[in-house]
Structure 1
Amino acid sequence: MNSGLSAYKVITCFHCGEDCEDVEIIIDEQNFCCHGCRLVYEVLTENELCNYYEISNHPGESLKTNKRPENRFNYLDDAETALRLVDFRDDTESHLTFYIPIIHCASCIWLLENLHQMHSGVFYSRVDFIKKKVQIKILNDKLSIKELVSLLAAIGYEPNISLSDLDKKQSPGLDKRLIQRLAVAGFCFGNMMMFSIPEYFSEAELIDSSFRGLFSYLNVILAFPVVVYSASDYYRSAWNSLAQKKINMDVPIVLGIIALFVYSLWEIFAFQRSGYMDSLGGLLFFLLLGKIYQQKTFSTLEFDRDYKSYFPIAVTKIVKNHEDVIPLAKLQVGDVIKVRDEELIPADSILLSSKANIDYSFVTGEEVPVPRQKGELIYAGGRQKGDAILVTIQKSPSQGYLTDLWNNDSSEKSKDRLLQPLSTKISAVFTWSVLIIAVAGFLFWAITDLSIAIKVFATVLIVACPCALAMSTPFTLGNTLRIFGKSRFYLKNVTVVERLALIDTVVFDKTGTLTDPANAMISYYGEVLSDETRAILKSMVERSTHPLSNRINQWLQNQTSAVIDQIEELKGAGIQAVFKNQQFRLGSSEFTGFTGIIKNLNGNVVCLTVEGQELGYFLIESGLREKATEVVSQLNADYDLHILSGDFSHEQFYLEEKLGASIKYNFKQSPSDKLAYLKGLNTTRHTMMIGDGLNDAGALLESEVGVAISDRVSHFSPASDAILDSEVFGMIPNFLSFAKSSRLIIKVSFVLSLMYNVVGITLAVQGLLSPVICAILMPLSSVSVVIFTTLSTNFIAWKKGLFTSKLI
C-alpha cells in the first residue's frame, strides 16, 4: 500500500500549477491542465517571453474554468461603446486603463509590461500593482480596442470591464488569496491547539498516553497545509530574492519555518515527542494576521491620502452669460465652460467655439498643438493655446486621470536619484546580522541541547523580522503627504516629501509669486486710448494668464472686447495681435520697440505700440503678497534665498527695503535664463523653485523641488512637483520644517525598531521565547510603528499650525 502511494506522482500544470488530473496535454515536454493554459504558453513561446516562468513557479492563473464564449467582446466593435474605455485618443494612438484583479505577483507585472513584445500595436504598458491596474497605449492602425482586450484575455489577464462603473471610485480591498491562507492557518492552528491539550497538561495526565502519539500525528497532518499553502507567499518572495542574489526580510522567516517544521518531524517520528507543530501553526497564523493588518492599513492610508478628491482644479462655468468659477467636483455633464490660453481641459468635451489649438504634451509628450474645429471632441489633459474657447462637458470629470498624468511625468525619474530610502540602506545589513546571530545561537546551544538550539535558531529568525523597519518610511511619508494635502499643499508623491527635507536653497519668481496682482496699483501714461483701442487691448489681455495681463484686464473690466484676426503670446516678452491689418504689441520695451521716456520706474512697465508707433505704457506698482515679508524673513535664517524676475532692476531698492538686502536678486531673466540659473545652482545646492508655472516652467522642472503657486487653481503646471494654494503662501516655512520633522520621525522609528529587535534577539538567544510569542510580537511591533508614526506626524503638524480650522 505504502509503495503504491510513493509511486504515485501528481502531475501539475506548467503554467498555473494545478493538478492535471486525467487530462494529458504535453507541449515541449511540459504538462498543461487545459487548452487555455497551453495556448498561453504557446503565445509566450512564439514571442520569446518564457522568462515569465523564471520569475516565479507557476505564475499563471488557471484557465480550466474559462468557458466563456469567444464572441463575448463583440460589443467593443461598437465605436461609441469602445470609446468609453478610452482615456485619450488621437489620429495615431489611444490610451486605456484596465482593472485586472488577478494581478498577484512579479511575473504578472513583467508579462503585462512586456505586451509590446507580444504585439507591435502596443508601445507602452505600466502596471499599478497596488490598485491592480494596467495603463496601456496602443497604435490605432495596428491594434483595435477589441483586439487588445482579446489579447489580454488570451494570456489569462482578462480585464474587469463594467461600463456603468467607469467613473465610480473604488474603496480599498484586501487580497482574497491572503485571506484564504489566513483561514487555512487559523483552522489548522485551532485544531492543533486542541490536539496539544494533553501536552499542555501533561502533569495532570488527563488522557491516556497512547492517545498522545495519535494527536502528534494528527498535528503533522494539519501542519502540512499550513507549511505548504499558507506559507507559500513567503517561499515565493524568498526565492525571488535569492534568484536576484539578494536577501530580503522573508528569507529568515522561511528558514525559521523550515527549521521548526523539520525538527518537529524529527522529534515526533524519531523520539515519539510532541514537537512544535502547534507553535508552527500559531506562527503562520499570527504572521498572516500581521500581514493583513499591514495591507489593510496601507490601503486605508492610500485611500485616505487620495488627494484626487481635492486636487486643485477649478473651472470657469458659463451660466446665462455669467462666468462662475467652481471646483471640478461640481462640474456636470452638459455644463458649458470657458477655457483660456494655457488652461487645462478638465474633462472630455465637445468644442463649441469655431476653432481651437490643443497642446496634448501633458498626455503624449508631443508639443505641437493639434487644431480642432467646432463640434470635435477634445480630451481631458489638453491645454488650449490661443484665444479663449467654449466647450461642453461630455464625460464626467476625472481628477484621478489628471492626477495620474501629473504623477507619470518622466522627469520624476531623474529626481529620484537624490535620496535612497533609509530602510533600503540598512535592510540587507540587518538581515545578514540576524542570520549570523541565529547560526551562532544554534551552534552554541547544539553542544548541550539540540532541542533548545533549534528553538533558538527559529525564534531569533522570527522575532528579528525587520517589518517595523520597512513600514516606518512609507507610513510616515504617506501620512505627511495626506496632511500636506489637507493643508492645500499638493505633492505628486512621497519622494517629494523626502526631497523637501533636504532643501537648502529657495528660489522665488517675483511676479505673481512674491507679488500679488490683486494688490498692485496701475496707472496709464501716454495718448488717450480710443474705445476701439481699449476694446482691442481688452481682447489681448483677457486671453493671457500672465499676472500683469490679468491686472490690466481688471483695469478694463467694464470694457467690451473686439474680434481680433490674429493673436499670439510670446512667453517672457508680451502679446502681439493683428486688427484690420495693423499690428498691436503689448509687453516689454524691447518687444514693443518702445523708446519713449518713462517718468516713473517704481513698478513694472508694460508698453503699448501700434505698427511701431508708441501709444503709451502702463505702470503697475507691485504689491507684495500678504505675508511675503514674514515668509522671506523666516526662510532667510535657514536657507539661501534667491529672487528671479523678468522685470528691470528698478524695483530692487523697494524689494530690499521690504524683504532684506541679503537676498540674491536677479532681474531681466528670460525663461531660458531662469532655467540656466537653476542648473548652475544645482551643481552645489539642493534647490526649491517657487513660481507661478507660466514663464518659469523650465526652472520648475530643473529644480529638485518645483512648487507652482496658484491663484487661479486651473493654472497648475505639469512641470511642478507640488502645487501650493496661494491662500496658504504664509505656511511655506511650516511646510519645509514639517518635511524635515517627518524625516526625523523616520529615524526615531528606526531606533525604536532596532531597540525592539535587540531586546527580542537577546531573549531569543537565551531560549526564553517560544515561536508563538515571537509571531505575536511581530505584528505588535508593526502596530507600534504605525501608531507612533501616525501620532507623531499628526502632533507635529498640529504644533506647526497645519491642522488649523482655517486650512482644513
Structure 2
Amino acid sequence: MQQPCYHCGNDCVKSPILFDEKNFCCHGCQTVYEIFSTNNLSSYYDLQSSPGAIPQEIEGKYDYLDHPDIIKKLIEFNAGNIQVVNLYIPHMHCSSCIWILENLNQLQSAIKTSQVNFPKKTVRITFKTDTVSLKEVVKLLSAIGYEPYISLNDYSKGKKKVDRSLIYKLGVAGFAFGNVMFLSFPEYFEVSDFWLEKYKYLFRGLTFAFSLPVVFYAAQEYFISAYKGVRSKILNIDVPIALGISVLFLRSTYEVLTNTGSGFFDSLTGLVFFLLLGKFFQQKTYSFLSFERDYKSYFPIAVTKISKIEGGVEEENIQVYKIKKGDRLLIRNAELLPVDSILISGNGQIDYSFVTGESETVAKNSGDQLFAGGKQLAGAIEVEAIKSVEQSYLTQLWSNAVFSKDREQGFVGLINTISKHFTWAVLSIAVVATSYWLMVDSSLAINVLTSVLIIACPCALALATPFALGNMLRIFGKQKFYLKNANVIEKIARIDTLIFDKTGTITTNKKASIAYEGMPLSNEEASLLKNTLRSSNHPLSRALYDFLAEQDIQTLDDFQEITGKGMHAIKANKSIAVGSAKFVGNETETETLATAVHVKTGNHYKGKYVFHNQYRKGVKELFQQLKKGFHLMILSGDNQGEKKYLQQLLPLGTDMLFHQKPEDKLNYIHTLQKEGRKVMMVGDGLNDAGALAQSEVGISIAENVNVFSPACDAILEAGQFQQIGAFIQAAKQTVGIIKSSIVLSFIYNVIGLYFAVTGQLSPIIAAILMPLSSITVLVFVTVLTNLKGRKLFKKL
C-alpha cells in the first residue's frame, strides 16, 4: 500500500519516517514540515493542492543548470567556493513566503544567506559551491513550492519579467462594473411593466455572471492575504475588505436566486474596481519614487581612472556611473571594486565579505577576474573594467542582509500596531451595528455591515508612513544626502546626541597647507613615499599624495595599512613607515598644534609633514545651530594640539576626546547608549566604521573618494556638510507630517463610521470614498513633504 509523503506527495517506499502522526519520505521533508509548524506556517499545506509537490519531470527539468556557460550568465558573483544568484519568484505573495525564503539555510546548510526583495519578487541567495550547486538550489526552491522563473534571454539582455496581473484585474473589474451599472438602469428607474414581464431575470442573471470574475479573479488577492493572515495569527488590513466583498456577494446571490431583490452587484463590482484603482495608483507612485531615488549618481562615489598620455599616465577622479568597459582603474587599499574587472597589476588580496559575509581574503593574480563589491586589502592595484556599473547594484550591496542590524522599528512599528488594533475595532463596530439594525430594521442591516467594513479600512493609515518617508528620501537624494533606506529618516528624528570625527569630517584636506620638517628625502625615498601614499585612502594620505611632486608609478612588493595608525611598505628591499609619531617609533616627538604625518625609512626617522588644517565652511554656524537641541561631541584619533583652537571655534560645552582609537570610539558610543542616548555618528567611513555601525545613525562624509562602507546608514557629500542641521530638521518634520496624517485618517474614519452605522451611507458610496481617502492621505503627505523640503533647502 502506497504511503504518500505529507510534504512532497511522493511515495514513502518501504520505510516511511513517522513524525507528528504524519508520514515523510525523508528527513528533509520532515525538517521542512517542522520549520513550517514551529513558525505558524502550516497554512502552506492548506493553500496548496499538492503541498511541496515535486513534478516527476523536475528531475531533468533543470539539467541545463549544469552547463558552465549558462551558470556564468545567471550567477551574480563567483569567487572561491561562494556564489550569489538573484532569482525571480513569481509565487511570492505574503509575509509567510518571505519568512520561508529568508530561512532557506535551515533547509540547506550550504546556503549562507537568502535576502528577499518583496516588491520585485526576487530572492538573492548566497551559497557554498563545494556543498551545493545552483541546480540543487533551484530544485530546493521548487520543492517547497517557490519555483523560480528563469529566462536566459531576459538575463542576457538585462530585462525583467513585468507583472501585469494588476492591470488585467483592474480591466476585468472596470469592464464588469460598467456593464453591471448599465444593466441595473431598469432597477434604478423602476421601469416596472417592461421590466417585470420580460427581462428582469435575464438582467439579474447577467449582473450575477459579471460579478463572478470580479470576486473569484480580480479580488482573489484580498481573500488569499486575509486567509493567510488569519491562519498565521496576523489580523491584516485585508480581513475587513475580504469580509465586505464576501457579505456583498453572498447577500446579492441570495436575493437573485430567491427572487427577493436584485442584490448589490453594482456596489460589489464598484468596490473591487475602486480598490484596485487605488492599488494601481499606489504602485505607480512607488515606481516614480524609486526612479527618482535611483537616478544616475545615487552615491557620491568616485574612482580613479588611469589614462595614458604623452610622457606618462594621468589620474583623474570620475563618478562610478561613468565607468565604461575597457577603462583602466586604480583601486587603492581598502577601496571597493565598483565593477567586475580584470586584475592588470598589483598584489590582489580581495575581501568579499561585503558580498558574502565571509571575512577570509582571496588572493588574485594578474589576469584573474574580480567581482564588484570586493575590497582590496594589500595596497593599490590596477584593473580593467569588463562592464559598466549600475548604481542599483551598489544599492543592493549596501542593503545586503549580511550587514543588517537589529534596530528598533520605531514609528513604522507604531503604524503597524495601530492598523492591527484598528482592524479589531472595525470588526467589533460592524458586529454591534449589524446586530442593532437586525433588531430595529433588518432591511438596513446588510447595508450597515458592508458600509462599515468598507469605509473603515485602515489602508490610508498604513500608506501614510511609506509615502511620507519615501518622498523625503527622494528629496534628500536630490540634496546629495543618500540614505540606505527610508527608515533611517525616522531614526534621525529620534537622535539627541551628535558625535563628529575631526580629520576628514569637520576638516577638509583640499585646502590644507602642508610643510615638511626634517632631513631631506632622497629621490628613491621620495618615490617610495609617493607610491606608498598612492595605495592609501586615508584623507591625510590623499592630501599629501596630491601635495608631493610627481614620481614614477611603481608596484610595491609589500604594503600594510594599520587602521588609525599608519602604513608599512617595501620596494626592492627598501622599507618605509608612514603615520603617527608613535607608529614610526619617534617617542620623543612633542605634541604640536597641527596634525602631522611622520616618515621613517629603514631604521632612520626622517621627519614629518605638518598639516595646518582648514575647517569646512559653515562648521561654526552648524555647531551653534545644533547646540540648541543636541549634545555635541568631537571624537578624534589625532592629538589634542588643536583643542584650544576648537574650543574657540565650537560652542561652549562641546565635549572633546582625542587619541581615540577606532575601538575606543565604538566603546564610547556604546556607553552613551547604555545611558539612554540616541547617537548619530558623523565620520569619514574609514577609521570610524565601528562607531558608525554602533550608533543609531551612522553618516559617512564622501569627498571625491571611493570609500563605501556597509557600516553607515547614510552618505553625505562633503559640500553639503553645513546642511546637517537642515536634514535633521526635515526628518523631524516628516515624522510630524506622519502624525498629522494619522489624525486626518482617524477624523475621516470617525465621520464615515457615523454615517455607516446610522444606515445613511450606501455600500457603493463607501466603495468610492475608501480609495479616495487613501489618495487624499497620499497627496497630503506628498505635498507637505515637498513644501517642507523646498523651504528648508531653497538656498541650495
TM-score (norm 1): 0.88
The residue that corresponds to 1:795 in the other structure is 787
Matched, 1:281 2:269: yes
Which of 160-169 and 302-311 deviates more?
160-169
Partner of 1:253: 241
Q: 1:122 aligns with which of 111, 136, 140?
A: 111
Match of residue 187, structure 2, among 185, 192, 199: 199
Of 599, 624, 628 in structure 2, the residue corresponding to residue 633 of structure 1 is: 624
Structure 1 position 508, deviation (Å): 0.3
After TM superposition, list the pairs within 5 Å mapping 1:504-519 onto structure 2.
Answer: 504-519=496-511
**Aligned mates of 1:533, 1:729 — CA distance in 2:** 37
> Is 1:663 aligned to residue 648 of structure 2?
no
- Range with greater deviation from structure 2 (210-219 or 427-436): 210-219
Deviation of 1:606 after TM superposition, in Å, equals 2.3
Aligned to 1:38: none
Shift in CA distance, 471/545, structure 1 to aligned 2, threshold 3 Å: same
Are 2:325 and 1:333 aligned?
A: yes
Tell me, in whole angstroms, the C-alpha distance in 1 between the residues paired with 2:8 and 2:542: 71
SS at match of 1:125: strand
1:304 matched to 2:295? The reply is no
Query: Who is 1:616 aligned against?
Result: 607
SS in 2 for 1:576: strand
> What is the number of residues matched between the two proteins?
771
Partner of 1:566: 558
Shift, 1:743, TM fit:
0.6
Q: CA deviation at 1:440?
A: 2.4
Residues 142-201 of structure 1 deviation map (CA, whole Å, 9 limit, x = unaligned)? 33334444555666655444456547666895541x344334433433333233222101
- Of the candidates 178, 190, 197, which is equivalent to residue 178 of structure 2? 190
The match for 1:134 is: 123
Change (3 A) 1:223 1:532: closer
Identity %: 44
Counterparts of residues 307-456 of structure 1 (less than 5 Å) = 309-320=297-308, 321-456=313-448
Partners of 2:391 and 2:551 in 1: CA distance: 35
**3-state SS, counterpart of residue 614 of structure 1:** strand
Tell me the amino acid that sits aligned with residue 425 of structure 2.
S
Tell me if structure 2 keeps the 8 A contact 1:56–1:107.
no
Distance in 1 (CA, whole Å) between partners of 2:417 and 2:766 is 25
Give, in whole Å, the separation in 2 of the partners of 1:706 and 1:441. Answer: 51
Deviations 1:447-499 (A, max 9, x none): 22101122111101101111100100001111111111121111100111110
**Residue equivalent to 2:16:** none
* Residue 84 (structure 2) aligned to one of 95, 107, 126: 95
1:227 corresponds to: 215
Q: 1:138 to 1:595 in 2, by over 3 A?
A: closer
Task: Output aligned runs, 1:481-520, within 5 Å.
Answer: 481-520=473-512
What letter matches 2:600 in structure 1?
A: T
Q: What are structure 2's unaligned runs of at least 5 residues?
A: 11-23
Write the distance in 1 (CA, Å) between the matches of 2:731 and 2:400.
23
**Is the contact made by 1:307 and 1:490 (CA closer than 8 Å) also made in structure 2?**
no
Using the alignment, how far apart are the partners of 1:643 and 1:620 within structure 2?
19
User: Corresponding residue for 2:19?
Assistant: none
User: Which one of 582, 593, 598 corresponds to residue 607 of structure 1?
Assistant: 598
CA distance in 1, matches of 2:64, 2:252: 58
1:556 Cα deviation from its structure 2 partner: 0.9
Measure the CA separation in 2 of the matches of 1:415 and 1:308.
Answer: 30
SS in 2 for 1:343: coil
| Change in 2 beyond 3 A, CA 1:553/1:221 | closer
* Cα-to-partner distance string for 1:92-129 (whole Å, 9 max, x where unaligned): 22111122334344565455445445555434323222
Give the whole-Å Cα distance in 2 for the aligned partners of 1:563 and 1:252: 68
From 699, 702, 716, the equivalent of 2:691 is 699
CA contact (8 A) 2:80 2:362 kept: no
The residue number in structure 1 matching 2:638 is 647
Tell me the distance in 2 between the aligned counterparts of 1:29 and 1:731.
Answer: 60
User: Is 2:549 the partner of 1:557?
Assistant: yes
Where does residue 4 of structure 1 map in the other structure? none
Give the alignment partner of residue 675 of structure 1, picking from 666, 689, 696: 666
The one-letter amino acid paired with 1:246 is I
Matched, 1:522 2:514: yes
Query: Equivalent residue for 1:9?
Result: none
Question: Is the CA contact 2:296–2:321 (under 8 Å) kept in the aligned structure 1?
Answer: no
Query: How far apart, CA to CA, are the structure 2 residues paired with 1:648 and 1:255?
Result: 68
* Structure 2 letter corresponding to 1:382: G
Q: Distance in 2 between matches of 1:29 and 1:150?
A: 18
Inter-partner Cα distance in structure 2 for 1:790 and 1:222:
37
Asked if structure 2 preserves the Cα contact closer than 8 Å seen for 1:509 and 1:643, the reply is yes
Distance 2:733 2:6 in 1: 59
Structure 1, 287-296 or 684-693: larger mean CA deviation: 287-296
Question: Higher mean Cα deviation, 427-436 or 706-715?
Answer: 427-436
Deviates further, 353-362 or 205-214: 205-214
Structure 1 unaligned residues grouped into runs of 5+:
1-24, 34-40
Evaluate the alpha carbon distance shift between residue 449 and residue 44 of structure 1 in structure 2; reply closer, same or farther with a 3 A threshold: farther
Q: Which residue of structure 2 aligns with residue 241 of structure 1?
A: 229
The secondary structure found in structure 2 opposite 1:413 is: coil
Q: Contact (CA 8 Å) 2:378, 2:558: kept in 1 or not?
A: no
SS in 2 for 1:516: strand
Matched residues in 2 for 1:44 and 1:175: separation?
Answer: 39
1:732-779 per-residue CA deviation (whole Å, 9 max, x = no partner) reads: 111111111111111111111111111111111221211111111111
- Paired letter, 1:408: N
Q: Which amino acid aligns with 2:658?
A: F
Q: 1:79 matched to which residue of 2? A: 68
- In 2 relative to 1, CA 61–491 (structure 1 residues): closer, same or farther, beyond 3 Å? farther
Task: Give the residue type in structure 2 aligned to 1:768.
Answer: Q
User: Matched residue of 2:598: which SS?
Assistant: strand
Give the CA RMSD over aligned residues: 3.2
Give me the whole-angstrom Cα distance separating, in 2, the residues matched to 1:695 and 1:128: 31
Q: 1:191 to 1:164 in 2, by over 3 A?
A: closer
Name which of 579, 585, 591 aligns with 2:583.
591
| Structure 1 pair 31–796 and aligned structure 2 pair: CA distance change class (3 A) | closer
**Pair 1:583–1:721, CA change in 2 (3 A):** same
Paired residues of 1:196 and 1:278 also in contact (CA < 8 A): yes
Answer with 280-289 or 447-456: which moved more: 280-289
CA contact (8 A) 2:457 2:770 kept: yes
> Which string of whole-angstrom CA distances, capped at 9 and with x for unpartnered residues, describes residues 266-305 of structure 1?
4445562223232222222222222222233233333332
Q: CA deviation at 1:434?
A: 1.7
Quote the Cα distance in structure 2 between the aligned partners of 1:62 and 1:239. 17
Equivalent residue for 2:13? none
For 2:211 and 2:335, how far apart are their aligned partners in 1? 63
Match of 1:49 among 32, 46, 50: 32
- Bigger drift between 391-400 and 755-764 goes to 391-400
Label 1:48 to 1:601 Cα distance change in 2 as closer, same or farther (>3 A). Answer: closer
What's the offset of the Cα at 1:670?
A: 0.9
Distance in 1 separating the partners of 2:481 and 2:26: 48
The residue type equivalent to 1:229 in the other structure is Y
Moved more, 291-300 or 640-649: 291-300
Is 1:747 matched with 2:739?
yes
Offset at residue 713 of structure 1 (A): 3.6
User: What letter is aligned with 1:449?
Assistant: D
Pick closer, same or farther for the CA change 1:107–1:548 going to 2, 3 Å: closer
Separation in 2, partners of 1:655, 1:389: 38
Give the CA deviation at 1:61: 10
Give 1:440's aligned amino acid: V
